[in-house]
Amino acid sequence: MRDLLTQPAWAEEDLGTPLPDSPHACSVALPTWDAVVGYEEGRDKVMRRLRMGYPRFVRHPLIERLFSLAREQVALDGESAFVFPTKIVAQRAQRFVEKRGEVAARVASFHGLQALIVPDAAAEWANTYWRHTGEIVSSRQAADFFGDGLRTDSKDHLLKRRLSKLVNLPEDHLFVFASGMTAITAAHRGIVGGRAGRKTLQLEFPYVDCLKVQELFGSGVVFLNEAQGESFDEALSRIRKGEFAAVFVEIPSNPLLRTVDLPRVAEACREGNVILAVDDTPASGVNVDVLPYADLVTTSLTKWMSGKSDVLAGMVSVNPASIHAADLCAALAADEAEGARLYVGDAEILLGNLSGYPARMERMNENGLAIAELLAAHPAVAKVWHPSMVTREHYDAVKRPNGGYGGLLSFEMKNPKRTARVYDALRISKGPSFGAEFSLACPYTLLAHYKELDWAESCGVSRWLIRVSLGLEPTEQLQAAFTAALALG
C-alpha cells in the first residue's frame, strides 16, 4: 500500500506513467494542474512524455501499432484505418462516419478483426465513435494479436456466474461488454431501436460520454441538469404522457454526486410506459439497490468492482419484473453476441479482481465519509459534493441497509486562484477514472469539458472543481495529505 506521508504518489519524470503496475492500465498520472491543461491543449511538453492514458481517449501503444499496420495493409494514401473488434461494430462506425462526415467509408477484414477505412479528413468522426461508444479493441487483445494470436474462447459464463451472485440476478438477465460505455451504448441502442422518433431524457448532470451517446445517436436528448422544482415537475408530467423513449439517470450523478428522486421518476415512467435506465457506477451496487425501480441498470465494471484500474468492462442488468424485460434481453443478447464483447483475456483479469469487492467498498465508504467531513469543515473549502451531504434523502431512499455513501466526492476552493496550488500539493495519485484501490484526484471539469467550460459552469459544474476517488489507504494518512495540501488554500 502506498505510504502517502513518506513517498509522493508521483514524480516529475512520471508524467503520463500508468498508475497501476500493469502494461494495460486504465488510468494515467497527470500530477499537476498545468499538466492537465497541457494535455487538453496538446502541448508538446506534455504529449511527448505521455506514455499511456485512459484507453478510450489515449490509444495504447499496441493499439497505435495495430492501427498503423491496418493503414499500411488495407488503406490508401489519404486514408486512415481504425480497427474494431467485429464486423457489426465496424459497420456501425462506418454508418456514423458517413452520416456525420458526409464521406464514403469502407470496412475490410483484418486478420480476425475489422478495419474501418475513412478519408483522413473524416478521421476525427471515427475517433469520436471509438471514444464515446467504447466499442474498442482492448490492449490485451492487441497484445495477443502481435503475440500468439487472437483467442476465440470465452469466459463470459464464468464471469456472469460470479456477477449474478454479487448482484443477485439470474445470469440470463446479465450482459457483459467491452467497457462501461459499451454497456451504456448497447442499452441506449436496445431502447431507442424500438422507439424511433422519440428523444431520451437525461436527469441531472451526467458523466460526459453518457450525455454524448444520447446526443449523437437515436433521435437526440432532452437534458435537465438539476432535477428539482418546477422544471422537474414538468419533466415528470412529460414522462407520464409518454413523450420520451427512455429516462437516463446516474445514482448519484458524476461529478456533483446528486441523487434524483428515483421513486418518483420510476412511478412516472411506469405510468407513461417509458423505460428507466439507471447507472449505479458512481455509488456501486454494494451501496445502493436501484434495480427495483429501473427497467435496466448499467454498471462500469472498470471502477469499484474491478478496483485495480487495469481492465475495461461493462455490464447491463435487466430487471426481470420489468414489462420491457423480454424485449430488452433480446436486444442486449444480440448485441453481446455480435458487438463489442469483453475479450477473454480481460474477462480473466476481471474475474480475479472481483475478489474482495464488497470488503473494498466498505473501506472506501469509510474513507469517503472521513475526507468529505474534513473538507466540509475546512475554512478554505467553499463546497463539498458527497451523497452524505447533497440530496441525502433521495440517496437514502435507495441505499442498502448496510450500504454507505461511497468513495467518490468533489470539492471547490473558496479562492479559485489557489486551486491549482492545492491540487499540485495533494500527495495522492492524479488522473482520470475512479474506483481504484488507490486514491485518485483530478480537475474533473478540465478533463471532461475543456472545450465547453462555460456551458459546464452554466450547469453548475465549476471549472475549478476537483473530484476525488478514495481508495484503501489508512484514513489518517489521507487526512494528513488533504490537511497539508489545504493549508496552501
Among candidate residues 108, 28, 127, 19, the one with its CA nearest the CA of residue 69: 108
Instruction: Indicate the residue among 77, 99, 133 that finishes a domain.
Output: 133
Q: Are residues 457 and 320 both part of a single domain?
A: no
Residues sharing a CB contact under 8 Å with residue 472, sequence separation 6 or more, in sequence order: 1, 360, 363, 364, 367, 437, 438
437, 407 in Cβ contact below 8 A? no
- 27-31: long-range contacts (C-beta < 8 A, 24 or more apart)? 27/54, 27/309, 27/429, 27/431, 27/432, 27/433, 27/436, 27/440, 28/52, 28/53, 28/54, 28/58, 28/431, 28/432, 29/429, 29/430, 29/431, 30/430, 30/431, 30/432, 30/442, 31/424, 31/430
Amino acid at 459: C
Q: Are residues 209 and 233 both part of a single domain?
A: yes
The answer as to whether 236 is a domain residue is yes
The answer as to whether 174 is a domain residue is yes
Strand partners, 83: 115
Q: Are residues 181 and 330 both part of a single domain?
A: yes
* 205 grid coordinates: 448532470
* 276 grid coordinates: 428507466
Instruction: Indicate the residue among 353, 385, 418 that finishes a domain.
Output: 353
We report the CATH number of the domain holding residue 35 as: 3.90.1150.10
Q: Are residues 106 and 71 both part of a single domain?
A: yes
| Confidence (pLDDT) at 70 | 98
Instruction: Indicate the residue among 353, 374, 406 that finishes a domain.
Output: 353
Q: Are residues 311 and 195 both part of a single domain?
A: yes
Q: Are residues 473 and 360 both part of a single domain?
A: yes
Range of the domain at 337: 156-353
Amino acid at 54: Y
Q: What is the pLDDT of residues 315-346, one digit of tens each?
A: 999 999 999 999 999 999 999 999 999 999 99
The answer as to whether 149 is a domain residue is no
We report the CATH number of the domain holding residue 336 as: 3.40.640.10
Residues sharing a CB contact under 8 Å with residue 324, sequence separation 6 or more, in sequence order: 275, 295
In this structure, how many other beta carbons lie within 10 angstroms of the beta carbon of residue 13? 8
The answer as to whether 55 is a domain residue is no
Q: What is the pLDDT of residues 225-252, one digit of tens each?
A: 999 999 999 999 999 999 999 999 999 9
- 209-212: long-range contacts (C-beta < 8 A, 24 or more apart)? 209/56, 209/131, 209/132, 209/134, 209/181, 209/184, 210/181, 210/184, 210/248, 210/250, 210/279, 212/132
Q: Are residues 191 and 247 both part of a single domain?
A: yes
Amino acid at 376: A
Count of domains observed in the chain:
3
| Confidence (pLDDT) at 54 | 79
The stretches in the chain having pLDDT less than 50 are 1-18
**pTM for the model:** 0.93
Q: Are residues 333 and 205 both part of a single domain?
A: yes
Q: Are residues 475 and 438 both part of a single domain?
A: yes
Among candidate residues 368, 344, 322, the one with its CA nearest the CA of residue 472: 368
* 47 grid coordinates: 504529449
The answer as to whether 143 is a domain residue is no
Q: Are residues 276 and 221 both part of a single domain?
A: yes
| Confidence (pLDDT) at 14 | 40
